[in-house]
Structure 1
Amino acid sequence: MSRDQDSTADEADFGYQRVPAGDKARRVGEVFSSVASRYDVMNDVMSAGLHRLWKQQALRLVNARPGHRVLDLAAGTGDLSVGLSRTVGKDGRVVVSDINEAMLNEGRDRLLNEGLADNLDYTLADAEQLPFAPRSFDRITIAFGLRNVTRIPRALAAMREALRPGGKLVVLEFSRLYLQPLQPVYDAYSFQVLPLMGRLVADDADSYRYLAESIRMHPDQETLLTMMEDAGFEDCGFINLSGGIVALHHGHVY
């Protein structure tokens, strides 16, 4: 069901709908503005806490070092930013970035409450048009955000340009389940249980129905790997987590 998202320049997937490309960012923004205040609670509920383990594995793969400058794209409420901030230390810098102001504000408040401020900057930014000079970062992360981007190839190219030689991109994203006997159970959970949870916990079934649809429309593991290679990343690979429900993709710049 995946498509080359640059193949039809004037349209994009919004869940199972085809919408004008210029309209997708607005619609996605409305989804996340709606769920921002309950985002962390819903992540814990709908993944039974697994998202925390997935993010810890992502941080290990990032392998940031003290003094590194890191861009955390689609940072949301800052789960990865917390670990990155502590790793890069006082001589490093983490730019916490999201396209949605409500999510960025939630992340800022959460990080301040964690006592993290000295090595953090906050930027409202579109992953397709990053407002940074070329070769600005040693690492770039994007967790559960790439599928919401209108033109994934364009965003990957922007990330490639923003990385320094020796840099690495790590993408944590829902992907394609490869344990086929579990597919009916996974589908029932995605399309029946998730919207119900969204209604009960966040008073928003539609946003979580979009979540399930956007996962199905996102490029599968091999397709995303090819997109990263086409964008100029080298030594690309991916690691399946939880049977392929989630995948960690990585690519390097030399």
Structure 2
Amino acid sequence: MLKKLMKYEFKSTLRYLLPLYTTFLIITCISKILLCLTSYEARLSFIPVLLNMIFYILFIGFIVSTFFSQIIRYYGSMVTDEAYITFSLPVDVKRLTGAKLITAVVNNCISIFLGILGMVIMSFTLDEAQNKIRAMKVQIQYMADSLNINIVLLVCIVVVMMVITFATYNLFIYTAIAIGQSFQGNKLVGTFFAGMVMYMSMMIVLIPVFLIINGLYSKRGTGSVTSFIMVCIGLLIGFNILFFKIIDYLFTNKLNLD
């Protein structure tokens, strides 16, 4: 059933995300072609600057809209009139949330990848590509050497951190929505209030941990950087488990669609 839910979620989200992805790439390619094929005179030198500025505005809007659309999708299917259909399905809240979370994280990763691809298209030329790639390899190798780990492990850590961070972001919003829907008054206001309280609570936990790790880092050097990363991953996983349990409890026992 989880596979069926994920298949449905992917189909539902791709209906509006796929045109967004395609439009972003098309505009990026057109902008790059205009920059490469035309030699602008002094009085028209503002055009390349304008094209780059438009691209970065588009880039920010693209990332924000793809992330925001996932939240709207979750909110609409879980606490609005559509929720009557959602909760009529013969599945529990854990599977519903799991399917939506996996779909959201995958779409978040795709949007970041396409955003980076767009920046690469706008930044690279054929002559500079090899130099840019070589410089990037040097930077990655430097980071791996600083952490005393190999490049493969570094890439794995970065990917894991990205996935866990996206999961935490989505579950944080999901939890705020779940808490907000239990309010008798304005549920949207309740969601914002819950999010603020949750954020402050997380900072109360994270700041002392960061200070402790920073103290260890100043004494032990690179070894504690790896420890810091592992602690961050552990804390995020812990928060994710807590968020998931809160969502499951509230939507199972405290659901209020009135």
Same fold (TM over 0.5): no
The structure carrying a bigger strand percent of its residues is 1
The TM-score with structure 1 as length reference comes to 0.24
The structure carrying a bigger helix percent of its residues is 2
Bigger radius of gyration, 1 or 2? 2
The TM-score with structure 2 as length reference comes to 0.23
